A = this chain, B = another copy of it.
Amino acid sequence: MDERCSTHEHRSCQLGWAAMSMGKVDRVRAKAAKRARRRPLSKQAMVDVALRIVDTEGTEAVSMRRVAAEFDTGPASLYAHVRDKDELLRLVLDRVIDEMEVPTADAWQDVVRGFAHNVRSAYQRHADVARLSFAHIPTGEKVLAGSERLLRAMIEAGVPDRVAAWALDILSLYVGADAFEGWIMQQRFSHDARGRPVAEVDADFVASVQHDMGAMPADRYPYLARALPVMTSGTSDERFSFGVDMLIAGFAAQIPEQP
């Protein structure tokens, strides 16, 4: 009551008589004015706010209270639009998934490879949103159309139905895991220098791992010592591309010989 009187909307606070009833009327008016001024609550608007928080601070920074605060209301108000926090975060993920494109290419390998890179890029544009991708089966119209194109590219090239179907699952899992892991790494090595180029972060990581394993007895672990320099070589992009290529090679090996 007291702090409300500090706002200029409560003229009744200056009046001595009939303060009770006038206060009530004014409070109602102020409430209505406030409600009119602010953005109305809706799934769409809530996802907008949540995604902005994800982009700047990561998925763990999203809280019902914080999202609600951006609408000048309490957390309870959100529950008229989503069942719980999990549903809100799933909607955020679906929004990001809508950014992913299946490229057009002649060779099925290029379609699959391009898709994998586009998925990773979309995740990378939105912090650790890939964390939400595990066990999430998107069913949007765009996802169906994209899956259709991917399956067609593979099946027409002779990839068995079962291999093509499972390939999508495995690729999605791998890309999501890579993007999530990449974000954690990025966070870990940006404790002091923010916004540095990825190559530099990679270099720091290399140095740190080599330090951790440097005390390793080379005579007891000859192969590990031999693999160490190459283990920490290459950027995260190169390692990701390599992983995708390994999977594609595996799928390709499942194409039966032409008679």
Contact = CB atoms under 8 A, between A and B. Distances in A.
A185 B135 contact: yes
Q: Please classify the interface of chain A as helix (H, G, I), strand (E, B), loop, or mixed, using the class held by over half of its residues.
A: helix
A159 to B, nearest CB: 10
A209 interface: yes
Given A139-B212, A174-B177, A246-B250, 11 more contacts: A134-B181, A135-B188, A148-B221, A151-B224, A151-B226, A155-B227, A161-B227, A165-B231, A166-B242, A169-B231, A170-B239
Nearest to A177: B177
B135 A166 contact: no
Interface residues of A, number: 57
A230 B144 contact: no
One complex includes copies of this chain to the number of: 2
B243 A253 contact: no
In the A-B complex, the 4 residue pairs with the closest CB atoms: A246-B250, A177-B177, A135-B184, A165-B231
A173 interface: yes
A151 B227 contact: yes
Contacts of A180: 134
Interface in A223-258: 223-224, 226-227, 230-231, 233-234, 239, 242-243, 245-251, 253-254
Nearest to A239: B166
A216 B184 CA distance: 37
